[in-house]
Structure 1
């Protein structure tokens, strides 16, 4: 078994301060082989916010892979956003915006889906898709980690990332197994599998620390990969409670190459 922990949308600068220590305690107690953070480490990409985010990440004991989110680049300073959008991210977090993590039977490819030209929407280019599909390892679970979702439910009012449908089709064709995303502050697990299952499983995280009351809760997920089975622990901390509840459990199995939820 290989254990991955998925965090997203920390939003330091607008974080739920009382939950920072409980979250760190849970993350480190999970004993993950790898922690994956899918963007929005900061709320406005400011230096003080990056210092908080970097300190938080340094205290995580497991190996870590992180990618930027749209909140991690300048919003109002247009010259900086166009000319050097990742300057603060590179200085505080990592120079590599598309890192790779390889532990046990998992290969995680980070992808930077931020589009400085369209601050919120996101984009995947053909070159990025090729970098993923050219390095699919048939001996591993191949996981792609990015900020923006590749599919959205009809009730979501944000524009879908440019290039998402084409990238999703190629990911499935070339053997990507799991996609981890964030951005919407809404939890979806297996929402797009369909009645017959699907070769690619999408897990969309809620926000781990943002204090926006409309989100109603903070959360993260722990993923245990074993043979053709994935056990997901969803750890939820409602805004009107002091900490995390016992985890909710979801199970997915892969049969004949297709993921399906299992009761």
Structure 2
């Protein structure tokens, strides 16, 4: 949604009423960051009364290493201890900093643990930056992949860009990726310089905000324009045929 952006959009304009209603009645949470989760709940409470005051909400953070290394892979992260409240009969919410939990964000370990423990999992609808960006890009929405972050080192990054481009041009599969905001412009320059002139390159940022950016064009056209992406807020990049 608008996490990481200087401006905010009214919560009721981007989240369905049903999602807000569920968030208002929950009192137990698993999250990336407790401070931003409290800020989110405060906004929810402005629309519907919270079941408990903020001070009584039970908010547990995922470990820091899960943020950095992810929670889906060999060995993974055992999130079952975080679900004690659910086993005791309480509904729990999983919330991430932006986008949707377990989709380009931590949380899959919690979902996996819930299934293992026989706890019902119910995904709620809200803005998902990757899908919004893809839908607005004009790239192939029938065949696409999200590949996370590209390498930071310039040579390795250029090599990865060319690998993704070759895959996209060979298969038609759109390639989506993200970057830490303060490296957005460096990544953009590497894309414009490393891709073929006819490859389509798209970028989207702040799609739920009045100042949303959503641009898509062939690389040859981008070379005649300034960078449409800034270093001060998250963005989604995509390339393809």
Return the TM-score normalized by structure 1.
0.32
Greater percentage in helix: 2
Greater percentage in strand: 1
Bigger Rg over Cα: 2
